[in-house]
Amino acid sequence: MAGSGTAHLQDDGDVVLRVEDLNVEFPIGQGRVVQAVSGISFDIRRGETVGLVGESGCGKSTTGRAVLQLPRPTSGTVTFDGVDLGTLSDEALRQTRVRMQMILQDPVSSLNPRRTIRQIVGEGLTIWGRQDGRDARIDEVLVSVGLDPAFVRDRRPHQFSGGQCQRICIARALALEPELLVCDEPVSSLDVSVQAQLLNLLRDMKAAYGLTVMFIAHDLAVVKNISDRVIVMYLGKICEVASADTLFETAAHPYTRALVDAIPNPDPRRSVPAVGLRGELPSPLSPPSGCRFRTRCPLATEVCAVEEPQLRAVGDGHFVACHHAGSVME
């Protein structure tokens, strides 16, 4: 992994979001910084769902926030619909944010407990001066996320389950008719049956509202289910980019392979795979030289310590940053 490079960027005019050489650093005192995201690039086409997957500490959530400029990244460009967000003034950025909405992992704490659902869903409309037909619009989005407006409108978040709160969060995001929806682990705190409902709902919403979705999650099966393309991240870098189906059938990166193998499978006849990855995630304070995955990689050789692998094409729309990608695919 854990490579840089821009070979996977697409050239057609349909790209709605383009991220180039994004770096996010957090100071941790005494002049030291953690590189949460190191020089990653990717793009999303209009109407596409791109999944960002990786384990904790891989920088996927930081990337999602950096795209929304929350906070602004340390360096790199984020181009949304042809506009470089880094060059916008705070006010211009605020005007643009209405077109990019976010859904977070914990739906209950994302909702102000003192407000009614009507206030929560309608607040954006009020702020942006869309008072005409405000109540009708609130009802419309509540219906579309599968809630009964008459029942829901005047209640407060604590009266709803986690799954229902997440539906309310989706309704709040959709009320402003955004173009880009960034979902950060939107279903990981939910029960399996509710998670399935929400995944189906997100798919329906995407079709109904013509959304472009950036879907961040740690669960590969969930990401595969919802995404058209998937980006696998490790320690602030991109390992592999491919269409969802390709990635899981012919994973080219040893890290992707290990992730796929680690998924617990509800089929007792399948033998439990031997433990794939040994060791621990290295400290992001002093990431390994060369390929950042090499300390845990079963295929690592000398070249991995010296030279950082660049993303390169190994198939149609399939890019991988690994010196030994070929041997994984066999």
Q: Rule CB under 8 A: which residues touch another protein? A: 55-56, 161, 163-164, 191-197, 199-200, 203, 218-222, 224-228, 243-245, 248-249, 258-278, 280-281
Closest CA to 162 of 104, 203, 223, 221: 104
Pick 61 or 69: Cβ nearer another protein: 61
Residue owning tokens 């040893």: 254
Closest separation between CB of residue 138 and another protein, Å? 23
Is 84 in a helix, a strand, or coil? strand
Closest separation between CB of residue 51 and another protein, Å? 9
Closest separation between CB of residue 126 and another protein, Å? 31
Pick 127 or 262: Cβ nearer another protein: 262
Closest separation between CB of residue 132 and another protein, Å? 35
Pick 5 or 48: Cβ nearer another protein: 48
Pick 120 or 222: Cβ nearer another protein: 222
Strands across the sheet with 15-27, in order?
A: 33-45, 15-27, 75-80, 83-84
Task: Work out the burial of residue 23: count CB atoms within 10 Å of its CB; fewer than 13 is exposed, 13-18 middle, 19 or more buried.
Answer: middle
Tokens of 56: 């904790």
From CA 229, how far away is CA 160, in angstroms rounded? Answer: 33
Closest separation between CB of residue 232 and another protein, Å? 13
From CA 40, how far away is CA 63, in angstroms rounded? Answer: 9
Pick 21 or 228: Cβ nearer another protein: 228
